[in-house]
Amino acid sequence: MTIVKPSDILIEKTTNLLQNGMNARAFGDFGVPEALGDARWTDELILSTWHMAETGKIPEKLNFKTGNSGGGFDRLKFQFLDESEWLEHSEKISTKLDLNRRGDEKNKISIDIPWYGGGMSYGSVSVNVMMSRARNARRWNSFISTGEGGYPTELREVEENVITQVATGYFGVEEDTIQAAPIIEFKYAQGAKPGLGGHLLAAKAGEEVAKLRGSVPFVSLFSPFPFHSTYSVEDHSKHLDWIETVNPKALLSVKVSTPHDVDMVAIGSFYAGAHIIHLDGGYGGTGAAPEIAKKNIAMPIELAIPKVHKFLVAEGVRDKVTLIASGGIRTADDMAKAIALGADGCVLGTTDLVGLGCTRCSNCEGGPSGRGCPWGLTTTDIELQEWVPQDWAVQRLDNLYGAMQWRMREILRKLGLDDVTQLRGRTDLLQYIPEEASE
């Protein structure tokens, strides 16, 4: 079957149907789809994310806070103050986050919300999706990461909000895109497939994707693991030095997964020169990963954050480095809990995609059709990607981020805090819920 770009009228029809359908489900005009959701992203969590993405508001009738995984964030809640002690809900409640705490001569970067967008490579998603996320990041004075697939030229328009990722396959890494980036992210590992390197299956490695990665079309691309130039903390330090030479102003972020010695990795990265230590937990998202890796290798982010936070505190360097958490963080409540456990901020990936219609059907790697996501999100298929009009997607993400910021402020004010940075490491504000009572 030849796949061609659809006509404008077909795009209009399909996008209207999809958008109206999502709204109809999110607003309760039709029942909850019976096959929607899983333990981590329940049907209500998906629908509430759609609701927020459409309205910019928290839904009244859907659980927008937790999933049903029986552990981690789903068993934690905040111990709010008595209502009489709550602060007013106000924009004065700060959600700003400084990313450079080393006090060096590099970029001084603050973001308006304590999260930014995680890496999704060109190839795993379309330029459309990358641009939508990047344009939204610009609205929120935040970032997205390129992921490991190169830097499509369209992104130049928003380069102040794009983190260039350098990962183990060096796919698409160019000197000029390192020089253009305010932050460079070294991806040592990814939570969904720790220790295994990236996967882009052949069906999705089309001509443009392959060209940007310096490869040939329709060949599966597996990034190696580990960095073949890094086998020690000293090598790691040289790695960061290399980037510093190419772009002396860029902040350096080190993305690692969560093995048992993640605390040692974090301190090693700090002394190697990292401004941001980005922990990616075992339940994180991916465009393609072996099922055995997703569930079994490395630890969930909820368990890694306090381990690293406490260790950095004990080493006396906690205030000199920004600790970012990702991998299984779904909601504003999850982010607030991650910060209370010891992170400074978070990275979102799957949440953005769910906001744009993702039902977590797990066919991102290509699926039986070989074309990737039928919603047009994790695909570069010339027909399917048209189902995600860029302006619509930017607005959806903007609305979603607005609702999440509102919820973050709601949590802070009920805790009597007027700045998100005051929440960091405040495990005394959390409560563990017995299993039978978990939401």
Partner 1 sequence: MLTSEKASGSVISEGRLSMESFETESARRGRQMADLYHRYGIDTEEIDDVQSLPIRFLVEVGKVGLAKYIFKEIIHYKGNAEVILSRPCTYGVFSGPVGGFSPRPHLCVGCLRCTIQHPEFVKVLPNPERLSLGDSYTTHGHIAAIDEEAKKGMVPVRGQGYRGRFGGPGFDGMLTDMSEIVRPSRDGIHGRELIGTSVDIGSKPMHLSFDEKGEIKGIQPKMFSIQVPFIFDLPPGNLGTEKLIRVIDLTSKGIDTLACVNSSDVERMAIDSANIIPVLSIDEAEKSSNYPNARLIQLDGWDSSAVDKARSVSDAMIGVRIKFEEGWQLRLDSAVNYGVEVIHLLADLHGRGEDGQFVTELFKEAHLRLIEQGRRDLVTLIGAGGIVGADHVPKSIISGLDAVALDLPVLFALQGRSDGSLVERAGVIGNLPNKMDEGWAEQRLTNLCGSWRDQLLEILGAMGIREVRRLRGEFGRSMIVEHLEDEAFEGIAGYVGGGN
In the window 285-314, what residues touch partner 1 (CB under 8 A)? 285-300, 302-307
Kindly tell me which residue out of 5, 216, 231, 419 binds partner 1, with binding defined by CB under 8 A.
231
Nearer to partner 1, 34 or 391 (CB): 34
User: Does the protein bind partner 1 through residue 150 (CB under 8 A)?
Assistant: no
Q: What is the DSSP string of 355-394?
A: HTT----S-TT-TTTTS--TTSSS---TTGGGGS-HHHHH
Q: Which long-range contacts (CB under 8 A, 24 or more apart) does 61-65 make?
A: 61/28, 62/26, 63/439, 64/331, 64/333, 64/407, 65/331, 65/333, 65/439
Decide: helix, strand or coil at residue 28: coil
Q: Residue 267 CB, nearest distance to partner 1 (Å)? A: 12
Kindly tell me which residue out of 99, 130, 131, 201 binds partner 1, with binding defined by CB under 8 A.
201
Kindly tell me which residue out of 167, 196, 339, 356 binds partner 1, with binding defined by CB under 8 A.
196
Question: Scanning residues 404 to 433, which ones bind partner 1 (CB under 8 A)?
Answer: 427-428, 430-433
Nearer to partner 1, 95 or 215 (CB): 215
Terminal-to-terminal C-alpha distance of the chain: 47
Nearer to partner 1, 92 or 314 (CB): 314
Phi, psi angles (nearest 5°) of residue 278: -110, 110
Dist. CA 74–CA 408, nearest whole Å: 17
User: Does the protein bind partner 1 through residue 229 (CB under 8 A)?
Assistant: no
User: Does the protein bind partner 1 through residue 156 (CB under 8 A)?
Assistant: no
Bridge-based pairing of strands 430-432 and 76-78 is antiparallel
Q: Residue 118 CB, nearest distance to partner 1 (Å)? A: 11
Dist. CA 348–CA 359, nearest whole Å: 16
Binders of partner 1: how many residues, by CB under 8 A?
114
Nearer to partner 1, 88 or 428 (CB): 428
- Report the largest interatomic distance among the alpha carbons of the chain, rounded to a whole angstrom: 65
Nearer to partner 1, 53 or 158 (CB): 53
Which of these segments, 8-16, 144-152, 173-181, 395-403, binds partner 1 (CB under 8 A)? 8-16
Nearer to partner 1, 114 or 287 (CB): 287
Please check whether residue 323 is in contact with residue 338, taking contact to mean a CB–CB distance below 8 angstroms. Answer: no
Q: Looking at residue 419, what DSSP letter applies? A: B
Question: Scanning residues 65 to 104, which ones bind partner 1 (CB under 8 A)?
Answer: 69-72, 74-76, 79
Taking the CB of residue 439, how many other CB atoms lie within 10 A of it?
12
Question: Scanning residues 331 to 370, which ones bind partner 1 (CB under 8 A)?
Answer: 341, 350, 357-365, 367-369
Question: Scanning residues 238 to 267, which ones bind partner 1 (CB under 8 A)?
Answer: 256-257, 259-262, 265
Nearer to partner 1, 134 or 192 (CB): 192
Token pair of 383 as six digits = 């027909």
